[in-house]
Amino acid sequence: SQQGEEDPQALSIQEGENATMNCSYKTSINNLQWYRQNSGRGLVHLILIRSNEREKHSGRLRVTLDTSKKSSSLLITASRAADTASYFCATGVDSSYKLIFGSGTRLLVRP
Amino acid sequence: EPEVTQTPSHQVTQMGQEVILRCVPISNHLYFYWYRQILGQKVEFLVSFYNNEISEKSEIFDDQFSVERPDGSNFTLKIRSTKLEDSAMYFCASSEEGAGGNIQYFGAGTRLSVL
C-alpha cells in the first residue's frame, strides 16, 4: 500500500455511535496528523500526534499511533450528523516540507 | 480566527490558456504550499515556498507550473499552458514552521476546470 492508506474507505453509522478510522503508512515519520474535509471544501486540521506519543485526545477525538505497526487510528465518540465528512491522515517526515495524505475515509453519520 | 483565503473559488479555462490561482496565507506564517486534489483522488503535494524561493517540489510541479509571492500578502500558482489533466481542486496552505510535518492550514480551494 502507499504511504497513508485509510480503511475503511467508507463508513456509515447512526448518530451517537462511535466511528473508528485506521491509517497505515510505510516510512518512518516525524508525526501523523488527521484532517477533515467537508464535501467540496478545504482541509481542516483536527489533531497531530508525534512519533514518540502513543495516544492523544482532543474533545471527542482520540488518536492512537503504533510506530511498530506503522499505523494510526482515529476514534470519534458520540458522533453527530455534523461529523459527516471525509477524514484523511497525513504524515510528515524530517527534512521534508510536504504532508503525504492518505486516500481518506468517507464518514456518513445518519441522524 | 485567521484563515487562508483563495480566489477564485472556481476557474474555468480553455486548454492551452494560462491561469493564475491566488492565495492569501495567514499573515504571520512563513511557509507556503500548494496541493491539488483530482476528483476522487488523494490530496497531492505540489510545492513548498519559503523565504522567496521554492524549498521543495514534487514531480508534478514541472516547467508548466510556477509560484510567486508578488507582495507581502499574496502567494500565487501559475499554470502556463493548461491541459485537461490539470482539472482539479487546488489548495493553498501555510504554516508557522517548515519541515518535519508541521500543522498546515488550508484554504477552501480553487476548482480549476480545463475545457
> What per-residue confidence (pLDDT) applies to A4?
67
User: Distance between CA B13 and CA B57 in Å, rounded?
Assistant: 25
User: Domain ranges in chain A?
Assistant: 5-110
Write out pLDDT tens, residues B44-69. 999 999 999 999 999 999 999 999 99
Q: Does B100 touch chain A (CB under 8 A)?
A: yes
- Which domains, from first to last, does chain B contain? 5-97 (2.60.40.10)
Of A35, A99, A104, the CB nearest to B101: A99
- The answer to whether residue B113 scores a pLDDT higher than 90 is yes
User: Distance between CA B110 and CA B107 in Å, rounded?
Assistant: 9
From residue A31, give the alpha-carbon distance in Å to each of A28, A60, A72.
9, 20, 11
Write out pLDDT tens, residues A88-98. 999 988 889 99
Write out pLDDT tens, residues A38-89. 987 889 999 999 999 999 999 999 999 999 999 999 999 999 999 999 999 9
State whether B104 and A45 contact (CB < 8 Å).
yes
> What per-residue confidence (pLDDT) applies to A2?
42
- Best probe of the A interface among B23, B34, B42, by most A CBs < 10 A, is B42
Question: Chain A partners of B56 at a C-beta cutoff of 8 Å?
Answer: 96-98
State whether A43 and B50 contact (CB < 8 Å).
no
Nearest chain A Cα distance for residue B63, angstroms: 19
Q: Does A28 touch chain B (CB under 8 A)?
A: no
Number of C-beta neighbours around residue B110 at 10 A: 22
Domain A5-110 fold is Immunoglobulin-like (2.60.40)
Q: Which residue of B has its CA nearest to A39?
A: B108
Percent of chain A with pLDDT over 90: 77
